[in-house]
């Protein structure tokens, strides 16, 4: 059984404040793109995970944790051999690990003939990470809470996206981003609600995009700000951060803009992709 695990962008990302449990309350609009990892599942006598990036093997991988959590929920032994082929750059704010975990829940639910509903899988997904529940259905959705309260909304049509992924590492990126937020950065969720309304009207307004972390990321990581400025200078486009970054993107894009960005960054180590937004109905799913 082979399953794709798609990356995501945050079209809007707001932080409403800090919660009593130490997490932050967020509102966001999430969108899958057709950059995807591939997972293959085979019956086995035990649980085995093999990744083409050896650093991602082992029990710390969310794929392993998803398999164990799903098996535990039905009091069975986790038995599968899982191959993970990585194409989504790691730790970029693109949700690769969360998407891999969701793909694992979907595939093993079928392979083990558990017949759990999406709602039941969502409960397991929420225990694994904030974005995992979104990837069970993917497409276009809004999310609240820590990101685990997901509501599908009218899908964005297929739109080209230029995606830029730095190869520089940004240690403790997410915790540093959240630690730099002050009450002055918090908002009321209105931007998210407004984009939801626009999408429900079967349109998309590019300048409605917003990410609160852009207010701190480009100060915290000057090399990321330099990369953003080079992309904007090459295209004139407004560049946004996905999640807590450091992946940058702009949409709508074009082949010409993608080529201009690729040329502008040819002497850097950044990876540049031309991808497209994707909805569940147009995405290939589980295959035997």
Q: Which of 257, 217, 237 is nearest to 92 (CA)?
A: 217
Task: Give strand pairing partners of 162.
Answer: 250, 274
Q: What is the pLDDT of residues 106-121, one digit of tens each?
A: 999 999 999 999 999 9
131: annotated active-site residue: yes
Residue 162 scores a pLDDT above 80: yes
The burial of 68, by beta-carbon neighbours within 10 Å (0-12 exposed, 13-18 middle, 19 or more buried), is given as middle
Residue 194 scores a pLDDT above 70: yes
Q: What is the pLDDT of residues 51-91, one digit of tens each?
A: 999 999 999 999 999 999 999 999 999 999 999 999 999 99
User: What CA–CA distance (Å, rounded) separates 282 from 43?
Assistant: 28
Domain CATH number, residue 162: 3.30.230.10
Q: Which of 44, 43, 45, 33 is nearest to 5 (CA)?
A: 33
> Which domain, by its residues, includes 28?
1-288
User: What CA–CA distance (Å, rounded) separates 283 from 269?
Assistant: 30
Q: Catalytic one among 8, 37, 100, 173?
A: 8
Note the pLDDT of residue 167.
85
Q: Catalytic one among 34, 75, 86, 131?
A: 131
Mean pLDDT of 115-132: 95
288: annotated active-site residue: no
Q: What's the domain count of the chain?
A: 1
């Amino acid at each position: 059984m082979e399953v794709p695990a798609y990356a995501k962008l945050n079209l809007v990302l707001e932080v409403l404040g800090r919660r009593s449990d130490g997490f932050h309350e967020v509102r966001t609009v999430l969108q899958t793109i057709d950059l995807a990892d591939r997972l293959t599942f085979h019956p086995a006598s035990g649980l085995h995970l093999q990744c083409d990036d050896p650093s991602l093997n082992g029990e710390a991988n969310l794929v392993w944790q998803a398999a164990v959590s799903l098996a535990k929920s039905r009091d069975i032994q986790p038995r599968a051999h899982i191959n993970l082929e990585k194409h989504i750059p790691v730790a970029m704010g693109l949700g690769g690990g969360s998407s891999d975990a969701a793909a694992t829940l979907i595939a093993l639910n079928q392979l083990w003939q558990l017949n759990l509903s999406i709602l039941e899988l969502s409960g397991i997904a929420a225990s694994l990470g904030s974005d995992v529940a979104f990837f069970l259905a993917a497409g276009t959705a809004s999310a609240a809470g820590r990101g685990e309260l997901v509501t599908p909304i009218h899908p964005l049509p297929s739109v080209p996206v230029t995606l830029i992924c730095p190869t520089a590492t940004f240690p403790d990126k997410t915790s540093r981003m959240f630690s730099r937020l002050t009450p002055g950065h918090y908002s009321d969720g209105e931007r998210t609600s407004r984009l939801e309304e626009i999408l429900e009207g079967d349109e998309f307004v590019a300048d409605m995009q917003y990410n609160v972390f852009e207010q701190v990321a480009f100060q915290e990581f000057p090399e990321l700000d330099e990369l953003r400025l080079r992309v904007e200078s090459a295209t004139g486009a407004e560049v946004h951060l996905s999640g807590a970054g450091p992946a940058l993107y702009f949409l709508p894009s074009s082949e010409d803009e993608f080529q201009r960005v690729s040329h502008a960054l040819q002497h850097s180590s950044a990876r540049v992709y031309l991808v497209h937004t994707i909805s569940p109905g147009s995405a290939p799913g589980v295959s035997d």
